[in-house]
Amino acid sequence: MGLLLSLTFFLVLAAAAPSEDVSHGSCSSKLSGELHLLDGSGLRLTLHHPRSPCSPAPFPDLPFSTILSRDEARATYFAARLTKTVPRAASPLLESAAVSVPLSTGNSIGVGNYVTRIVLGTPGKSYIVVADTGSSLSWLQCSPCKVECHPQEGPLFNPSASATYSSVPCSASECDSLASATLNPAACTLSKVCVYEATYGDGSFSVGYLSKDTLSLGSGRRLADFVYGCGQDNEGLFGRSAGLIGLARDRLSLPSQFAPTLGYGFSYCLPTLASTGYLSFGSNNPGQFSYTPMVSSSLDDSLYFIRLTGITVGGRGLPVSASAYTSTPTIIDSGTVITRLPVDVYGALSSAVAAALRGYKRAPAYSILDTCFRGSLSRLAVPAVDMVFQGGATLRLAARNVMIDVDGSTTCLAFAPSGSVAIIGNKQQQTFSVVYDVGRSRIGFAAGGCG
C-alpha cells in the first residue's frame, strides 16, 4: 500500500502559483449559494481552485516542486495513454467477480483538477467532486464501501437511502459502454450486476457497481437515470472529494448524458486561488467566443484534440516552421497545470521570452521549468504572448498566464517541452471562458470569464 500511496499522491495537488496569499475572508462565493444556479436554460455550478480556502474541500498545501513533478507524471501518462501502454491496477472486488479482465489502459485524474458539488439521490444530498476533461465515467464513493474508501468531506453516498437508486445489470447497453468510458472492459458479479473499473495512470483506481440515480439540477429540474459508478474500492489520494465527474467525449460522460435536455457541450472558467469560477452546461452565448475546430484523432476519441498554429511574443511570431506546431498531437486539458509544447516551439518561445526579459537576472531551472528569473512576477515586464489556434481562435495571455512564481524569489516561464503530446494546461486557461461545443465539434475561448 505504501507504494500505491506514493504513486497516487499527485491526485491532490494544486493547480496554480504557490505564492498567492488568500484568506478565508476573501472568498467571493459562499458555499450555501454555490450549488445549482440556473443560467437561462442551462445549469451553472460554482468551480473552485483545488487549493483555495473558498473550496468546500481544499486540497493539501504541498511544495511547488512536488506539484510540478506530479504534473509531469500526468503529462507522461497522457503520452503513454496515446500509445496504449498504461496498465491497470487490481482490486479484490474484481477478483470476486464472475469474469476476469485483461490489462488495458486507464484514465488520469491528474494534479490540478478543480472542485465543485453535485446533488444525487432521492432525497438529494450534496457531494464534493473533482471535474476532469480527461475522464468519462463519473463515480462516487458508496457505503458500505466493501473494500476501501479514502477520507472525504461529509458522509458517503448511501444507495439504500435513495428511493431512485438502481444498479445496472450486465445485460444493459451501459455496461457494454464501459470499455470506451473507462478503457477497461466491464466485469460481472455472480448476481449479474455490472462492475466498472476506472483505473488511472498513477496506479490509483475506483472499482464498484455501475448504477443509476437521480441527479438534481436545481429549481425542481432533475436528470433521471444518471449513469455513474458507485465505488466500493477507491484507492489512492483523491483529496477529500467524494468522487469525480467525467467531462470527456463518451456516451457515459456527464455532458453526453445532459445532451438531450441541455445540448451536447459545456463551458468553464478555471479560477485562480483568490476567486471562484464556474462549470456550465447549456446556455452559452456563442457570439462572445472565438472558435477552433476539434480535431479527430484515432489515438483516443474521448480526449479533446485541437490544432495550435502559432505563438507570438510581443506581437512577433516565433521563428519556427508551421509544421513544428503539428509535430505532436495537441490536447486541451483541465487537469494539467503547465502547458506542454513541441520541443522546437518551446525552445523558440523560451528564447523569445528570455530576450524580452534580458534586463532581469536569470535564476536556475526549477524542476521542469528551465526559463526562470530572480524576483516575483509583479516586478517583471512580461511580454504579451498569444496562442493562436486553427481558425484564428486566440488565447491572449496575461502575465499571470505566461509566468509563474515558484517561490518567494523566483519566477519561471509556465511552459515546458514535450516530444510526444502537446497539452494546453490550466495555468494558461485560468480566468478565460472555455466552451466545449461538442455538438458542433469546436472549442471556443473568451477573455474575462470568471468575473
Q: Is 132 an active-site residue?
A: yes
Catalytic: which of 71, 202, 333, 405? 333
Nearest residue to 357 (alpha-carbon basis) of 338, 374, 340: 374
Q: Quickly list DSSP for 210-277.
A: EEEEEEEEETTEEEEEEEEEEEEEEES-BTB--EEEE-SSSTTSHHHHHHHHH-S-EEEE---TTSEE
Using H for helix, E for strand and C for coil, what is the string for 287-307? HHCEEEECCCCCCCCCCCEEC
Catalytic: which of 132, 202, 213, 250? 132
Q: Is 233 an active-site residue?
A: no
Question: Residues with Cβ < 8 Å from 83, sequence gap 6 or more?
Answer: 420
At 190, phi and psi to the nearest 5?
-65, -25
CA 215 to chain CA centroid, Å, is: 21
d(Cα 330, Cα 395) in Å, to the nearest integer? 15
d(Cα 318, Cα 296) in Å, to the nearest integer? 26
Nearest residue to 201 (alpha-carbon basis) of 293, 100, 283, 107: 107
Q: Which residues are catalytic?
A: 132, 333
